[in-house]
Homo-oligomer: A and B are copies of this chain.
Amino acid sequence: MNINSSYTQEMVSMRRSIHQKPETGWTEFRTTALVVRRLKELGFEVKMGKAIVNTDFVMGRYDSEVKLGMQRALQAGITQEEIDATEGYTGAVGIWKTGKPGPVTAIRYDMDALYVPETTNPEHIPNKKGFASQYPGVMHACGHDCHTAIGLSVAHWIADHKDELCGTIKLIFQPAEEGTRGACSIAESGIVDDVNFLFASHIGNKPRLGEVTVTEPGYNATVKFDVHFEGKPAHSVANPQDGRNALMAACHTVVMAGSLPRHGSGLTTVSCGKINAGEMRNVVPTHATLQMEVRGSTNELCDYIYSQVCRAVKANAEAFDVKYDIVKVGQALTMNPDKELAEVIKECASEVVGPENVSYFKETGGSEDVTFLMTRVQNHGGQAAHFYYGSDDTGPHRSDFDPDDEKSMPVGFTIQTKLLLKKNGIH
C-alpha cells in the first residue's frame, strides 16, 4: 500500500475533534464552522446557506433540534456570526478555481452523526484515547467524522498542489445524510449543475482494511415520511360520536399497508417503524403519528409503492373523518454509477491498495442520498461514481463502531487525490 502519509496527522486530529462533538443532521453548526474556517484559510471560495441549500427540498429538519444545535455550537466556541452565516442551514461547498481550462470535478463529504449513545467500554478506542462523544446519546457511529476530516485534508492537498491542477474542484460538505434528508436540497440548489465528474465514497461497510470496493448499480430508492392524523377529542364511552379517532385511522393505515398490491417487477417494501397516538385512556384519541418508509428496487417502484401508501392514508383519514398530513423526511434514489468513471476509481484504488484488493460490489439493501447529486450530474451529461474504502470495523450504526482512523482514512484520502489528479491534473 502506497499511502501518502503527510496529511494523516491533521486528518486524525480533525476527525477526533469532530467525533467529540457529534452533530446530527441539520444541526452541524460547529462542524460547518470548522469546515468553513479551514476552507477559507486555504484560499477556497466558500458557499453556504441558501446558496447551496434549496429550502423547498429540505427534509427532516426540526426547529427544536436546530435551535439546540446552535446553542451547543455557541457553547463549543463557534461565534454567532459563524452561525448566522449558515442562514440556519448547515453545510458548505468549497470551490477551487485553478483559472486553467479543465473539467469541474466534485467530491461529496457528509458530516452528520447519529442518535446512538457511544459505548462506555474502556477498550473502545475513543474512550481509550479520550476523544469519545461529549454529547449524551449522540455519536459519529457511521464514520462521517472521518469523511469530513478527509475532505479538509483533500482541500489542503489541493492548495498544496494548485500548480499541478486545472479546471475547477468543488468539495461538497453535505448535511443530514442519515435518514437521507440533505442531498436533495443541495442538488436542487444547482450547485452541481456545472459538474463533469462527481465522486462519493464511504469508509467501511463490506471491504476490510486495505480493500476497496467500487459500487455497481444498486441501492434501493426510498422515501421516509411521517404521517400525522388529527381528530377531535370526546369521551370514549359517553359520546364517541362527537370524537374523531386519529388512533384508529393510524392503526388501520398500518394494517392496510400490507394489503396494498406489491409490484410484479421488483422489490417494493413498506415499513412502519413507530406509532404514537392518543392522549388518555378514556378519550377518543386526537393525535397520531406514524414513522414510515417505503423502498423500491427502482425509483419507479419506490414512487409506485409510495403513491399506494399515500392513497391508503388519505382513505383512512376519510374513513375516520380526521385530517391528515404526509411529510417527507428523507428520500434517496437508486444509484447508477457510470461504468467509465467507476473504472477510473478502480485504477486509482489499485494503485493505492493493489489490484488484488479492489473489486466491484453491488449494494442491495441500503440507501444513500448522494444519489440525488449523482442523478443531477448525470441528467446534464456528467458522470458520477462511488466507492468504499475498507475498515476492520464494518458494522456502522453501532455504539462501538470504530474504524481505524490512522489506517483507513489515508486510503480514502489518497484515492481521492489520485482521482483529482486523473481528472484535473496537468499532464
A88 to B275, CA, bound (A): 34
Q: Are B277 and A275 in contact (CB under 8 A)?
A: yes
Q: Which residue of B lies closest to A114 (CB)?
A: B280
Q: Is the C-beta of A251 less than 8 angstroms from some C-beta in chain B?
A: yes
Most chain B CB atoms below 10 A, which of A240, A281, A314 = A281
Q: Which residue of B lies closest to A276 (CB)?
A: B276
Q: Is the C-beta of A340 less than 8 angstroms from some C-beta in chain B?
A: no
Q: Are B247 and A274 in contact (CB under 8 A)?
A: yes
Interface string of A260-286 (1 = CB under 8 A from B): 111111000101111111111111110
A318 to B313, CA, bound (A): 10
Interface string of A210-251 (1 = CB under 8 A from B): 000000000010001000000000011111111101011011
Q: Are B269 and A237 in contact (CB under 8 A)?
A: yes
Q: Which residue of B lies closest to A318 (CB)?
A: B315
Q: Which residue of B lies closest to A301 (CB)?
A: B241
Q: Are A282 and B293 in contact (CB under 8 A)?
A: yes
Q: Are B237 and A264 in contact (CB under 8 A)?
A: yes
**A348 CB contacts on chain B under 8 angstroms:** none
Q: Are B247 and A275 in contact (CB under 8 A)?
A: yes
**A311 CB contacts on chain B under 8 angstroms:** 318-319, 321
Most chain B CB atoms below 10 A, which of A242, A245, A272 = A272
Q: Is the C-beta of A179 less than 8 angstroms from some C-beta in chain B?
A: yes
Q: How far is the CB of A346 from chain B (nearest CB, A)?
A: 26
Q: Are A252 and B261 in contact (CB under 8 A)?
A: no
Partner pick for A255 among B255, B276, B312, CB 8 A cutoff: B255
How many copies of the polypeptide does the oligomer hold? 4
Q: How far is the CB of A265 from chain B (nearest CB, A)?
A: 8
Q: How far is the CB of A147 from chain B (nearest CB, A)?
A: 21
Q: Are A278 and B264 in contact (CB under 8 A)?
A: no
Interface string of A286-306 (1 = CB under 8 A from B): 000001110100000000100
* A contact residues, total (Cβ < 8 Å): 62
Most chain B CB atoms below 10 A, which of A239, A275, A295 = A275
Q: Are A261 and B241 in contact (CB under 8 A)?
A: yes
Partner pick for A272 among B272, B276, B278, B365, CB 8 A cutoff: B278
Tell me the A319-361 residues at the B interface (CB within 8 Å). 319-321
Q: Are B237 and A295 in contact (CB under 8 A)?
A: yes
Q: Is the C-beta of A384 less than 8 angstroms from some C-beta in chain B?
A: no
Q: Is the C-beta of A68 less than 8 angstroms from some C-beta in chain B?
A: no
A24 to B316, CA, bound (A): 37
Q: How far is the CB of A227 from chain B (nearest CB, A)?
A: 12
A277 to B291, CA, bound (A): 10
Q: How far is the CB of A269 from chain B (nearest CB, A)?
A: 5
Q: Is the C-beta of A254 less than 8 angstroms from some C-beta in chain B?
A: yes
Q: Is the C-beta of A258 less than 8 angstroms from some C-beta in chain B?
A: yes
Partner pick for A237 among B220, B256, B291, CB 8 A cutoff: B220
10 cross-chain pairs, A with B, having the tightest CB-CB distances, nearest first = A258-B258, A274-B278, A315-B319, A236-B271, A273-B281, A239-B264, A240-B261, A258-B259, A238-B365, A251-B251
* A positions within 8 Å CB-CB of B: 179, 220, 224, 235-243, 245, 247-248, 250-252, 254-265, 269, 271-285, 291-293, 295, 304, 311-312, 314-316, 318-321, 365-366
A sample of 13 cross-chain residue pairs with beta-carbon separation below 8 angstroms, ordered by A number, consists of A238-B365, A241-B261, A241-B264, A245-B259, A247-B275, A250-B275, A255-B256, A257-B259, A258-B259, A272-B278, A273-B282, A278-B291, A281-B292
